[in-house]
């Protein structure tokens, strides 16, 4: 974990916006602004999945490099505020996460909650929205949005059998070919809306893709497979030709309103 008095809530990895592809990484970092110290937690907690998605930053950077696409990376730990939640989601700022109490998040005054939204959460989403608009303008078509996450091998004592999962809601234009292409590797167990359901109202894909009718998918890679830099880069190399192929499919760059299983968009 790093802390900084001058803190950027996001980072832009530049790429060719005319490709029509945007890569996003909501949980890539575990960093905190100086003023928040360590949120009252031992340093070891920032090595856990509760602070960030292990391996995702390396995968995202390498994937952007290999595809040539731009990426937007959130600069802060999900323990400060979770950019992959809606503003009204009760887990937006966690007070208890996988058995760990976060002292600086409890109690949470309304003023402090709004401060974190204004300084970190909203600037990140503004950057994602601006990148998507810029890619749409440069490519002359609806963009394809690809979100990178990772998940723990075990949750609440239960082993997860998947090496990778693809999360989606109603729009399967990306999810279906992505699952099919990944599943060509007989050694991979590919989850379809596993280990989580892709229908989460207010999350990044809902906010920037679903409501706009843009093709999208969220990929979850098991953390033990990308914890080391070399293995994370190998996963990016595996994904890059698949993402490129999907980006060339004829219906990917159309606006299509499929709605959401969470209700009307």
Question: CA-based diameter of the chain, in Å?
Answer: 52
pLDDT at 88 over 80: yes
Token reading at 229 = 């830099």
52 touches 27 (CB < 8 A): yes
Q: Is the pLDDT of residue 37 over 80?
A: yes
Structure token digits, residue 73: 């990376």
DSSP-derived secondary structure for 2-32: -EESS--SEEEE---GGG-EEEEETT----E
Against a cut of 0.75, is the pTM above it?
A: yes
**64 φ, ψ to 5°?**
-65, -40
The mean predicted confidence, pLDDT, of the chain is: 97
Question: With pLDDT > 90 as the criterion, what percentage of the chain qualifies?
Answer: 96
Q: What fold, for 3-247? A: Aminopeptidase (3.40.630)
Closest CA to 149 of 88, 104, 210, 82: 82
Q: Which two tokens stand for residue 83?
A: 């950019």
Q: What confidence tier does 1 reach under pLDDT thresholds 50, 70, 90?
A: low
Q: Which of 203, 201, 212, 205 is nearest to 257 (CA)?
A: 212
**Residue 157: predicted pLDDT:** 87
The band of 3, judged by pLDDT with boundaries at 50, 70 and 90, is low
Residue 138 tokens, joined: 């440069």
**Region 232-242 average pLDDT:** 98
Q: Is the pLDDT confidence value at 167 over 90?
A: yes
Residue 17: band (very low, low, confident or very high) from pLDDT cuts 50, 70, 90: very high
């Amino acid at each position: 974990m790093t802390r900084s008095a001058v803190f950027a809530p996001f980072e832009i990895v530049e790429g060719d916006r005319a490709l029509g592809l945007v890569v996003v990484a909501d949980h890539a970092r575990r960093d905190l602004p100086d003023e928040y110290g360590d949120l009252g937690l031992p340093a070891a907690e920032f090595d856990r999945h509760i602070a960030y998605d292990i391996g995702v930053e390396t995968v995202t950077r390498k994937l952007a490099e290999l595809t040539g696409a731009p990426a937007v990376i959130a600069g802060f730990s999900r323990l400060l505020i979770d950019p992959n939640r809606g503003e009204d989601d009760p887990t937006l700022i966690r007070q208890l996460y996988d058995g760990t109490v976060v002292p600086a998040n409890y109690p949470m005054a309304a003023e402090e909650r709004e401060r974190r939204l204004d300084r970190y959460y909203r600037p990140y989403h503004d950057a994602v929205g601006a990148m998507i608009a810029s890619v749409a303008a440069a490519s002359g078509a609806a963009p394809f949005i690809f979100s990178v996450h990772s998940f723990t091998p075990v949750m609440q004592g239960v082993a997860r059998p998947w090496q990778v999962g693809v999360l989606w809601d109603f729009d399967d234009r990306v999810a279906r070919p992505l699952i099919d292409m990944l599943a060509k590797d007989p050694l991979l167990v590919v989850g379809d809306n596993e280990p989580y359901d892709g229908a989460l109202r207010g999350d990044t894909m809902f906010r920037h893709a679903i409501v706009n009718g843009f093709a999208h998918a969220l990929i979850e890679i098991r953390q033990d497979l990308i914890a080391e830099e070399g293995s994370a880069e190998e996963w990016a190399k595996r994904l890059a030709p698949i993402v490129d192929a999907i980006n060339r499919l004829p219906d990917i760059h159309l606006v299509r309103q499929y709605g959401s299983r969470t209700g009307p968009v």
